């Protein structure tokens, strides 16, 4: 290709495990014509160096701010724990770098708003990792709804079960059981799915909600130690979309033994149902079913050829890859087709509204937050 | 058998159609050793006589009060439209007759409370037709939960779709589209299912709710005329059971092209899921699935032999038959195992709480109503 490759500086890329290794790196390698990973910064120079050597990355930095300042980096990718997002993303934007930050963008709405404003001010491309939005089945669902497959939307309902947030947890993920860390059932699996729902059905106007922690402790698998669980493992929403259609959602923690995701959209002319093994919709292989008019039973709807041809690397790598492709196109064409920080703020607003409605046992409007 | 047969006086038994003909009469004929239908009263003597002659019933009355007074009747069965229940049931109780009244018992909670008090005062057996409670799959579900199949209950969630309350309706059922008649998606399919849910999971402590009418008109199939629809065709509930487990429910009007009923119960040790072609759980063939412990996928749970042997006449007749059998046992043994008016009041309280919470956009406690 004629253009220079986009140079990725990775904050949070470990050699042995983690989302950067399992999702981002394979996606970037599949897009090697357009991207190269030039730098890594972890929590210590030792860790950065280890990852850089193991993964063939030229530059290892002792700190994220050094990476952000590096002339070898065009785009800073942030795949660390949520509580660190704000400082790291802020530093990257202030250094004038484009950013791809994993979802949730902030530990709470305010952080997301500040980062969005800052990115706007600095004129950098700010992409958030709500990858379910680019899952082929979601794109197909969105297109079908837009084309009127179900007619006018009457209502939608979601059931989602997602690990962890069950009775036991491994140490590296134990932080997700502490609500203060902002990385929980509500923000992550539910948030990813709501981000996709926006694309398909539009925003939520108003909602009532309940949050609960049913399992107040969890067992660390490595030691058998019991730790407190304060993150919600139950999310219940009864609301109304801006279109007027009611939305019901129930997400709960743990593995499901049935369909871990059921998302049904009912309209005047038909019905669509998206299912998957889990409610964390960016991670799982989704399946779309539909029936229109006189057809009485849902039938599996295969992906159109173009989407099917783009789905051969599976959901985890494929969804991240599609975000990188959108990001590259945005930089080339001066567009914003990749999930944006501004989009992330809208999801954070829904989460804030859910928290407020659950707290007050009343209702809340996401747009008021 | 040595005992005299129980003599049924039917209010609302037509020769051509209706619930009395399709459900009650076959159930009673299957129990001919214990019951005989001795009288019928419809809205006119002509209609009563026609039904009596066609169906081989000895006595036809010009009015329900004459039937209630008749010495040929032990039990008054009421299968007419909900708005007439109160006066008819009241007259029967005041005449000292036992009563089996179809659900919903009253057009609203107050009527149900008055009838319950009256039946108590008069010492008659007062049975309500929440027949889903005696569906074999519900009984099996209740037993499994009671035996600890899923361990401690973490949460439960229901999706139910039920006709009519769609875009078109036949004249005989058009009254269900007028909310004033108390015979709608909330009171009937949802009410029957909540009555069963009480048996399995206990009462609802508190709830938020939304009600909506998405299709504000319906077309009469006979004439093409458009009629107003004021009955809710969307019922959304987010609440908490007295056990502490969250309950999410979304019922909507119309046929489903997928599972019309999904009722999932998730516990610390396993999961149970009841499904059926529709959310009106007393009418449909239910199927129960479950998985415990290390079993990863839901498996169909066959009925135990005793329940399976009792399920050969299908849900519509079988569920009504089982209520009559319980009623006969109650009269014989001076028990109240059949669904009682007092039980009906509890379901009416949930409905009243849903209406109040939807109106206030706040929360409500069924026990406060």
Q: CB-based contacts of B319: which residues, under 8 Å, 6+ apart?
A: B23, B131, B132, B134, B135, B282
Q: Do A155 and B252 count as a contact with CB atoms less than 8 A apart?
A: yes
Question: Can A6-131+318-339 and A133-305+347-363 be said to share one CATH topology?
Answer: no
> Domain residue spans in chain B?
6-131+318-340, 133-304+347-363
Which candidate in A155, A165, A168, A289 is best for mutational testing of the B interface (most B CBs within 10 A)?
Answer: A155
| Structure tokens given for A51 | 């990852």
Give domain A133-305+347-363's CATH architecture.
2-Layer Sandwich (3.30)
Count of C-beta atoms within a 10 Å radius of residue B3: 10
Q: How many DSSP H helices and E strands does chain B contain?
A: 11, 18
The CA distance from A356 to B25, in Å, is 53
Q: What is the full DSSP assignment across B61-127?
A: ESSHHHHHH-TT-SEEEE-S-GGGHHHHHHHHHHTT-EEEEESS-SSSHHHHHHHHHHHHHHT--EE
Search chain B and give the residue with CA nearest A363. Answer: B361
Q: Do B262 and A159 count as a contact with CB atoms less than 8 A apart?
A: yes
pLDDT (tens place) for every residue of chain B, 369 residues total: 446 899 999 999 999 999 999 999 999 999 999 999 999 999 999 999 999 999 999 999 999 999 999 999 999 999 999 999 999 999 999 999 999 999 999 999 999 999 999 999 999 999 999 999 999 999 999 999 999 999 999 999 999 999 999 999 999 999 999 999 999 999 999 999 999 999 999 999 999 999 999 999 999 999 999 999 999 999 999 999 999 999 999 999 999 999 999 999 999 999 999 999 999 999 999 999 999 999 999 999 999 999 999 999 999 999 999 999 999 999 999 999 999 999 999 999 999 999 999 999 999 999 999
Q: What is the pLDDT of residues B75-85, one digit of tens each?
A: 999 999 999 99
Q: Do A154 and B268 count as a contact with CB atoms less than 8 A apart?
A: no
Instruction: Label residue A3 by pLDDT band (50, 70, 90).
Output: low
Q: Which residues of B touch A238 (CB under 8 A)?
A: 208-210, 236-238, 248, 250
Q: Do B212 and A240 count as a contact with CB atoms less than 8 A apart?
A: yes
Search chain B and give the residue with CA nearest A360. Answer: B362
Which of A161, A257, A363 shows the shortest C-beta gap to B296?
Answer: A257
Give domain B133-304+347-363's CATH architecture.
2-Layer Sandwich (3.30)
Q: Do A238 and B289 count as a contact with CB atoms less than 8 A apart?
A: no
Q: Which residues of B touch A257 (CB under 8 A)?
A: 270-271, 291, 295-298
* Chain A: closest CA distance from residue B210 (Å): 7
Instruction: Find tokens 């120079």 and name the residue.
Output: A45
Helix (H, G, I), strand (E, B) or coil at B341: helix
Give domain B6-131+318-340's CATH architecture.
3-Layer(aba) Sandwich (3.40)
Instruction: Find tokens 């007092």 and name the residue.
Output: B342
CA proximity to B192, closest of B309, B315, B71:
B315
Q: Do B236 and A254 count as a contact with CB atoms less than 8 A apart?
A: no
Inter-residue contact B131 to B298 (CB < 8 Å):
no
ipTM of the complex model = 0.96
Q: What is the pLDDT of residues B258-302, one digit of tens each?
A: 999 999 999 999 999 999 999 999 999 999 999 999 999 999 999
User: What pLDDT sits at residue A2?
Assistant: 45
| Structure tokens given for A160 | 């989602």
The CA distance from A143 to A154, in Å, is 17
Q: Do B238 and A295 count as a contact with CB atoms less than 8 A apart?
A: no
Search chain B and give the residue with CA nearest A159. Answer: B157
The CA distance from B267 to B203, in Å, is 17
Backbone angles phi, psi at A251, to 5 degrees: -110, 140
CATH for the stretch A6-131+318-339: 3.40.50.720
Q: Do A257 and B297 count as a contact with CB atoms less than 8 A apart?
A: yes
Search chain A and give the residue with CA nearest B293. Answer: A257
**Beta bridge pairs of residue A102:** A129
Helix (H, G, I), strand (E, B) or coil at B308: helix
Inter-residue contact A158 to B236 (CB < 8 Å):
no
């Amino acid at each position: 290709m004629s253009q220079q490759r986009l140079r990725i500086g990775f904050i949070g890329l470990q050699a042995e495990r983690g989302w950067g290794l399992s999702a981002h790196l394979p996606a970037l390698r599949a897009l090697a014509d357009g991207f190269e990973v030039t730098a890594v910064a972890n929590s210590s120079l030792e860790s950065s160096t280890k990852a850089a050597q193991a993964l063939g990355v030229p530059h290892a930095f002792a700190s994220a701010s050094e990476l952000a300042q590096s002339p070898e980096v065009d785009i800073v990718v942030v795949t660390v724990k949520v509580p660190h997002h704000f400082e790291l993303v802020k530093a990257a934007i202030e250094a004038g770098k484009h950013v791809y930050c994993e979802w949730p963008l902030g530990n709470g709405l305010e952080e997301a708003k500040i980062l969005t404003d800052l990115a706007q001010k600095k004129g950098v491309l700010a992409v958030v990792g709500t990858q379910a939005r680019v899952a082929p089945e979601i794109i197909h669902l969105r297109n079908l709804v837009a084309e009127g497959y179900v007619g006018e939307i009457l209502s939608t309902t979601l059931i989602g079960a997602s690990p962890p947030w069950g009775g036991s947890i491994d140490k590296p993920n134990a932080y997700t059981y502490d609500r203060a860390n902002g990385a929980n059932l509500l923000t992550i699996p539910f948030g990813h799915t709501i981000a996709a729902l926006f694309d398909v059905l539009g925003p939520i106007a108003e909602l009532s909600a309940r949050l609960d922690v049913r399992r107040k402790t969890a067992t660390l698998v490595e030691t058998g130690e019991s730790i407190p669980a304060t993150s919600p493992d139950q999310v219940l929403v009864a609301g109304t979309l801006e279109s007027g259609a009611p939305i019901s959602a129930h997400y709960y923690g743990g593995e499901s033994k049935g369909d871990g995701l059921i998302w049904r959209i009912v309209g005047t002319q038909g019905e669509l149902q998206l299912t998957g093994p889990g409610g964390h919709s960016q991670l799982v292989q989704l399946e779309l079913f539909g029936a229109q008019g006189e057809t009485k039973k849902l039938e599996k709807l295969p992906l159109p050829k173009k989407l099917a041809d783009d789905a051969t690397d599976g959901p985890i790598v494929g969804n991240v890859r599609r975000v990188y492709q959108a990001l590259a196109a945005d930089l080339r064409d001066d567009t914003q087709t990749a999930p944006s920080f501004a989009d992330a703020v809208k999801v954070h607003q829904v989460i804030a509204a859910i928290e407020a409605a659950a707290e007050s046992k009343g209702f809340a409007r996401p747009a008021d937050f």
